[in-house]
Structure 1
């Protein structure tokens, strides 16, 4: 016999779901942004009323180790960046922990270029690459406050680097020529970096 003073578990879960679904779209997208992007997209797609929430993510956090193979990783990122509203993205983390994908440089460079060109609110950018990867020659992000580069990330000798709001620069294992190029550009643009980490 069911005790009327205690609602059933099923009813309680339905009420919780209703309460969550009543939250503003921006808040739901913010909650999803705390998950790794692969999980955030899967969660969004698994709930009928949340199907489009992944497109409003403000944080993109991608690690190739979370995917079964590099081809699937690239397909996922391509589909993600073509469907998400990039103008809302404030944080972009891309960790490419593989060294056997031939078109890697052009593909990753294209992803970075898309994020930088379209997002007007990008504040945090972190990129790690086990394969040589050249940053876009026109590397400009007015709102970027944190830049972290590691691994085989390269900067072209004639790159135009414009990061007027940069506060933290973290360069780990980046080739010295590329690191020097970034530093020279930042100094010449009078950017006031408050935190600097260099490890060659």
Structure 2
């Protein structure tokens, strides 16, 4: 601290000698509260936070530290703690906004999850409106729950990136005009077909779209500009009429689709001629046809996960051409120990495969293997370019030796390197969309 105060008598305080724009960039890694606290470093820093184009307000940073075991809190203590926390958060946000100079924002982030949202509805809404009036380029709102988003969030012409997590309906939004928006993340927003159509017409340069907690009330996604699409839906409705039936994105490069309860939509049609990477997860078995595998025939990398993989492959693969461009294939939850014949048939559709990744599931009880194991009289894999096979298995999986013997015999012609990883616990995140997520974070 003394060194900082004496910065005017020497060049030891090089940080304070940086131009304002670089110091503001350093502040971009801090919450607004932490940025304000930098004013005590030296006179040089005294008012720098008031011109910072980065505002990050996070209620979690104000959480009270309670007793070692939170279960010892009674209801009254918890209620008092919540009130104290929000009061501190409210005062910090309000004072920061009040004292900040009226310069434009680059990024505004507000994370404020609480059960008594309605008690502070107008206040939090005013914070959001403040940000929208200062032309932000990056807009990140995470409020739970929320009855509606300000309409200005859909007409802010400066926005380049937006993330809206509010668990609300946007059906009342009449106009969407976001001419510069390239990246959009909607979490818990109920979407109907009318809103989807407005979204794409009002966002002419949209490239990244992530729909999370998406209740499928839209049957068609059609957009020329999209390059990366990620859909993660949890809708419990069994109504097939509310599932996506057509995705028409001619310039899409990466597609990730996860559905838990509904299963993949019946007769889903994919028009993605430029697609190179895809990841599909379906948890609920189904007996119909979706055409989803057929729509992925030109890709280079494919990941299939979930309990419904077997049904998906059995129903779709016989009618598909060979996936001649696929170099990397990942299969999770296939219960390989029970379906060697199916697995062999699958790989025959990937003649130029170079890397294969498998996660073994099932067969944790030795008795399960008897009576269910398919015969091993299978023709070897015809592909000759397979270089690497990665196998992840859980240490309780007693059928692992059977699987390894099958893989060695089946891939004998190409003689790939087989890498083995033992897992102590099953991770619910194994399905995650690795390829697209890397691109998403890097962009």
Calculate the TM-score normalised by the size of structure 1: 0.79
Is 1:169 aligned to 2:184, yes or no?
A: yes
Alignment of 1:22-33 (within 5 A): 22-33=17-28
Q: How far is 1:197 from its partner?
A: 1.1
Higher helix residue share: 1
Calculate the TM-score normalised by the size of structure 2: 0.38
Q: How far is 1:163 from its partner?
A: 0.8
| SS in structure 2 of the partner of residue 66 of structure 1 | helix
Unaligned segments of structure 2, at least 5 residues? 64-84, 215-443
Deviations 1:92-123 (A, max 9, x none): 11111211244332122211111111x23x21
Aligned to 2:209: 196
Deviations 1:166-191 (A, max 9, x none): 111111222335xx665333323352
Q: Distance in 1 between matches of 2:188 and 2:177?
A: 22
Alignment of 1:48-197 (within 5 A): 48-68=43-63, 69-117=85-133, 119-120=134-135, 122-139=136-153, 140-155=155-170, 157-176=172-191, 182-189=195-202, 191-197=204-210
Q: Distance in 1 between matches of 2:48 and 2:165?
A: 31
Q: How far is 1:154 from its partner?
A: 4.3
Deviations 1:117-164 (A, max 9, x none): 1x23x2111111112242223332222111111143443614433211
| SS in structure 1 of the partner of residue 180 of structure 2 | coil
The farther-off stretch of 168-177 and 153-162 is 153-162
Q: Distance in 1 between matches of 2:106 and 2:169?
A: 23
Unaligned segments of structure 1, at least 5 residues? 1-9
- Let me know the Cα RMSD of the aligned residues: 2.6
Given that residues 180 and 203 in structure 2 are in contact (C-alpha distance below 8 angstroms), is that contact kept between their aligned partners in structure 1?
no
**How many residues matched?**
187
Given that residues 161 and 185 in structure 1 are in contact (C-alpha distance below 8 angstroms), is that contact kept between their aligned partners in structure 2?
yes
Q: Which has the larger radius of gyration?
A: 2
